[in-house]
Amino acid sequence: MTLYFHIDVNSAYLSWEAVSRLQHGDALDLRLIPSAVGGDPKSRHGIILAKSIPAKKYGITTGETLHEALEKCPHLLVVPPRYGLYMQASEAMHRIFLEVSPYVQRFSIDESFMMIPGSGVDYLRLGEDLKTRIREELGFTVNIGISSNKLLAKMASDFSKPDALHTLFPEEIPQKMWPLPVEDLFMVGRATRPKLKALGIHTIGDLAATPRSYLVHRLKSHGEMIWEFAHGLESSKIRMDQSAWSKGVGNGTTLPRDIDKPRDAFLYLLGLSESVALRLRLGQKLARVIMIRLKSSEFKSYTHQRTLLSPTDETPVIYETLKSLFMEAWRGESLRYLGVRLTGLSEPTPYQYTLFDSPEKESQRALDRQIDALRLRYGKNVIQRGVFLHKRVKPLIGGVGEEDYLMMSSLL
């Protein structure tokens, strides 16, 4: 029988912070005290990203505001996130996985699936050895779930934490999975949960006992999917060699303060264009659809998009399109967030010039590439557009920092 493992780092960001600090001579282990990784409230990024187990005992939850967390636990130690460090830790763990099996799917920065082919494998031993190896070589703990498909392996890895190994084979479903609250099921989120409650469905077992046709009637294809999940039915394969994104790439940011002038919005859009276009070019893709996302100070979010005649990876084309999209979409209210997303991706070779492309097209692409090379070699701050001088807006906004460079560094 083919086996699937799901490996999940316990309190990932916080564990990695703790390990890094210990390695750099810090005597304090963040995992042993009430602590959290969180953003900066001054720039309106103040939410809890990860918490220690002692912090959890105070009722602190991921996603809540730092303000709320500090009310629950005034002596909570909060440290800022360092995404570059987390990418390194994730990479190191991934390299260990590949020594165990070539069939590894990275599901997120701290979760992976692994397929173990063949029969007669001592999977408990294999799992325990993997846990031990990660703990001894990398200094942090993981949960491992084992089953005959990815869904059940993922459900198993969530059972009890930390540093635990669980199985959830089909015959164990009634005993181990059906008693759990329905919101513990993968793909039952905060919108589906109340709908199910209204139907009298409170546990995963209740969901499994509900007629499939009834759920399809009420919840369409989503209902069908979660009914199958409740029965442990899932058969997707390991998806290998996936980049972090394959359908689209985006960057967005909550603004340090509300803005209500297009001129201010344009500066952020330029910074977002630079980072998203750089990522697109590093991934060697072109995009045909450009989308802007706006969020008002009242948290009302909306999007506007345009499909281009020919796909592009050029920063100026993306930026000019975004300005135009902004002017069409903006409802005149003050804005809290601006985001950019590029989809409709294609391969850039050979570049398809249209009849109307100007000769400057070639030189613009060459310029973009030279700037990319400089940023990769000397860091993202080595070169920036003049409009950002003496401004507080960053010339590259969003996740194009150490993390993406690290992802790409194996190519360079």
Residues in touch with DNA (CB under 7 A) = 39, 41-42, 44-47, 49, 62-63, 65, 67, 70, 107-111, 186-193, 220-222, 244-254, 279, 289, 291, 299, 301-307, 329, 337, 339, 341, 343-344, 398-399
E strand spans, 137-274: 142-147, 165-167, 248-259
- For 75-80, which contacts have Cβ atoms below 8 Å and span 24 or more sequence positions? 75/34, 76/34, 76/35, 76/36, 77/30, 77/33, 77/34, 77/35, 77/36, 78/35, 78/36, 78/37, 78/38, 79/17, 79/30, 79/35, 79/36, 79/37, 79/38, 80/37, 80/38, 80/39, 80/40
Is 111 marked active-site? Answer: yes
DSSP 125-147: HHHHHHHHHHHHHHS--EEEEEE
CB closer to DNA out of 118 and 200:
200
What minimum distance in Å lies between the beta carbon of 209 and DNA? 20
Q: How far apart are CA 109 and CA 125, in angstroms?
A: 25
CB closer to DNA out of 201 and 291:
291
CA nearest neighbour of 262 among 175, 212, 322? 322
- The pair phi, psi for residue 9, each rounded to 5°, is -70, 130
What minimum distance in Å lies between the beta carbon of 27 and DNA? 27
What minimum distance in Å lies between the beta carbon of 401 and DNA? 9
326, two tokens: 């902004």
What minimum distance in Å lies between the beta carbon of 110 and DNA? 5
Catalytic residue among 111, 274, 402, 403: 111
What minimum distance in Å lies between the beta carbon of 66 and DNA? 7
CA nearest neighbour of 19 among 104, 108, 82, 102? 82
What minimum distance in Å lies between the beta carbon of 164 and DNA? 16
HSE at residue 86, side-chain half, CA atoms within 13 A, is 21
Sequence-separated (6 or more) residues with CB below 8 Å from residue 289 = 305, 306, 307, 308, 342, 343, 344
What are the residue numbers of the active site?
111
